[in-house]
Structure 1
Amino acid sequence: MITTGFGFNTTALEAVEGIDLSGRRAIVTGGASGIGVETVRALATAGAEVTIAARDIDAGQRVASSLMASTGNKNISVAHLDLASQPSVKAFARNWDGPLHLLINNAGVMATPLTRTPEGWELQFATNHFGHFTLTAGLFNSLRAEGARVVNVSSSAHLMGEVVFEDLHYQRREYDRWQAYGQSKTANILFGVEAGHRWASEGITMNALMPGSIATNLQRHLTQAELQERIRLSGAATKRRVKTPEQGAATTLVVATSPLLEGLSGKYFEDCNEALPNTGGVLSGVAPYAQDPEAAATLWQLSEQTLWSLKAA
């Protein structure tokens, strides 16, 4: 188990203290809001060249201008990315030039009403998994140029749902927005498990994390009462305190920059340390099904088949 000396109260800036990212290039999806802003701030403070990948270019430009002023790092840029749109994701990857050392798959949607993309995909799985799968695969050559880390921001909500391969998009079962969110977050973890198997020889590593409970725009589709009711219905108990965005981004920075993770893939972190196996009845730890190699391989194959069939259509 990897323990770092950091914990719940650690901030993103504390996590990168003493880390020099000069000459390193990073992309942060969803870097214009929530913990994404603090992730960009910490990476820029450590000297990285950072690209904010955002749906709202104006919001991204405002964040970039603010962070350039506060960090003194002028190498912060903005590029359009809508993870729910495969053409947008492919255009972003196609337009990227040169090496990439850190890819922070941070953006996502949570507990949305049933919504389908133009392909007929359920929005949460389309955004949280397919979008980031296409993006990461599209950037593969840049990631392997000098070795890189890919960081997937998952959630303890993965404990609410396995990936249901037989009906990913709720064509035959009743839609449950939390189960749908849960399976997309499980997919974020499984992605790293299979990437570790497939990409180890390329020098690319991928790990996932739970940032913590943070009040951000991610919760815009539900009330606090709805969230607590979902926790009650899940049969899980939680005493987790709410983190600030600065604290919420800390685990991301640990996974992205800690020397302790060199060469490692397929792990899941919470509160800045590798998570223990979930023991049931609590919303912490990692579910066995989220690190199952067979499920990870199935997810990768299904993702490739789905996206290749789209390309051929």
Structure 2
Amino acid sequence: MTTNNPITTSFAHQSTAMDVIRGVDLVGRRAIVTGGSSGIGVETARALASAGAEVTLAVRNPDAGQQAANDITGTTGNDRVLVAPLDLADQGSIADFVANWDGPLHILVNNAGIMAAPLSRTPQGWEMQFATNHLGHFALATGLRPALAAGDGARIVSVSSAAHLRSPVVFEDIQYDKREYEPWQAYGQSKTANVLFAVEATRRWSDDGIYTNSLMPGAIQTNLQRYVSKEELDRMRSGNAAAWKTVEQGAATSVLVAASPLLDEVGGRYFEDCQQAAPAQPGGRTGVADYALDPEAAERLWQVSTALLKG
């Protein structure tokens, strides 16, 4: 059962993924990292591979994925770093990925995402950030549930963001059919969905030994900012330059959630800087919002997501 005591660790803001994985043995374990060809995804995959896991990079661009896989093998000596195509905005691509997966799965890192993108929609009419960041990963995780249940203590890592503090899930108009679209608000809504998914997935699947936690990796400059102007990025950095992390530091909390023995049979929590986060304070930029951990909202989101995928 999940305990109620907050998880604290010896790691902190400046800890790296390799710091966190040191001493952890993942030989015989199999992991998937979405968006594993760049940014914190590749460093998360590298850390898991360094501990002996078989790691599949689930990526939109298989050529870039293979380059990353070769690099990870070169630095870790682990040649069980695989590449598979996956487009989270394409339900057919997700179905193909799930159909091609064989055997148990022990770690699923839902890492890929888009941020602050201009308004665009999938063929189903879904707003692209919500569709990619939440619905795509929701479809992937639910599709892989049998493999995770066979994993004997499997974990799902739901990479969220402090941007979840910008917006709850607005159930009355998730897809921005009625309200004016605002890129950061839409991103925030999708990141709240990532936290709510961890809450409800743990409630539904912990009896199968599957536990899900969410996290804020930190402020890291990666391809995720491709829709953010240089002026806005400079403004973000100048606001609190010390808060920014390297990609190796940014992957640390993902790796903690994926592999630390401290999180055995722990789920439904939100982590930042390698610690379980405290409740967010009004106007603050850290911590977790009450609405992101609300069990009623989590169950509602699950039901809405299931209905959307059934079409």
Normalised by the length of structure 1, the TM-score is: 0.95
Deviation string 1:172-214 (CA, Å, 9 cap, x unpaired) is 0000111100000000000011111111111000000000000
Alignment partners' CA distance in 1, 2:204 and 2:237: 35
Question: Which residue of the other structure, out of 274, 277, 280, is the alignment partner of 2:276?
Answer: 274
Alignment partners' CA distance in 2, 1:229 and 1:295: 33
**1:230 Cα deviation (Å)?**
8.3
**1:241 Cα deviation (Å)?**
1.6
Alignment partners' CA distance in 1, 2:160 and 2:215: 5
Question: Any idea what SS the aligned residue of 1:104 has?
Answer: strand
1:164 maps to 170
2:245 maps to 243
**1:308 Cα deviation (Å)?**
1.3
**1:147 Cα deviation (Å)?**
2.8
Alignment partners' CA distance in 2, 1:228 and 1:174: 26
Question: Any idea what SS the aligned residue of 1:147 has?
Answer: coil
The answer on 1:82 being equivalent to 2:84 is no
Q: 1:125 to 1:240 in 2, by over 3 A?
A: farther
Q: 1:160 to 1:63 in 2, by over 3 A?
A: same
Provide the aligned length of Structure 1 versus Structure 2.
305
2:290 maps to 288
Q: 1:4 to 1:13 in 2, by over 3 A?
A: same
Equivalences for residues 1-313 of structure 1 within 5 A: 1-145=6-150, 146-227=152-233, 241-309=243-311
State the percentage of identical aligned residues.
59
Amino acid at match of 2:291: Y
User: Is 1:238–1:283's contact at 8 Å kept on the other side of the alignment?
Assistant: no
Alignment partners' CA distance in 2, 1:74 and 1:194: 35
Question: Any idea what SS the aligned residue of 1:78 has?
Answer: strand
Alignment partners' CA distance in 2, 1:264 and 1:29: 22
User: Is 2:270–2:288's contact at 8 Å kept on the other side of the alignment?
Assistant: yes
Alignment partners' CA distance in 1, 2:234 and 2:269: 28
Amino acid at match of 1:297: E
Question: Any idea what SS the aligned residue of 2:57 has?
Answer: strand
Amino acid at match of 2:43: E
List runs of 5+ in structure 2 lacking aligned partners: 1-5
Alignment partners' CA distance in 2, 1:94 and 1:85: 14
Question: Any idea what SS the aligned residue of 2:267 has?
Answer: coil
2:3 maps to none
Amino acid at match of 1:274: Q
Once superposed, which parts of structure 1, at least 4 consecutive aligned residues long, lie more than 3 Å away?
A: 227-232, 237-240
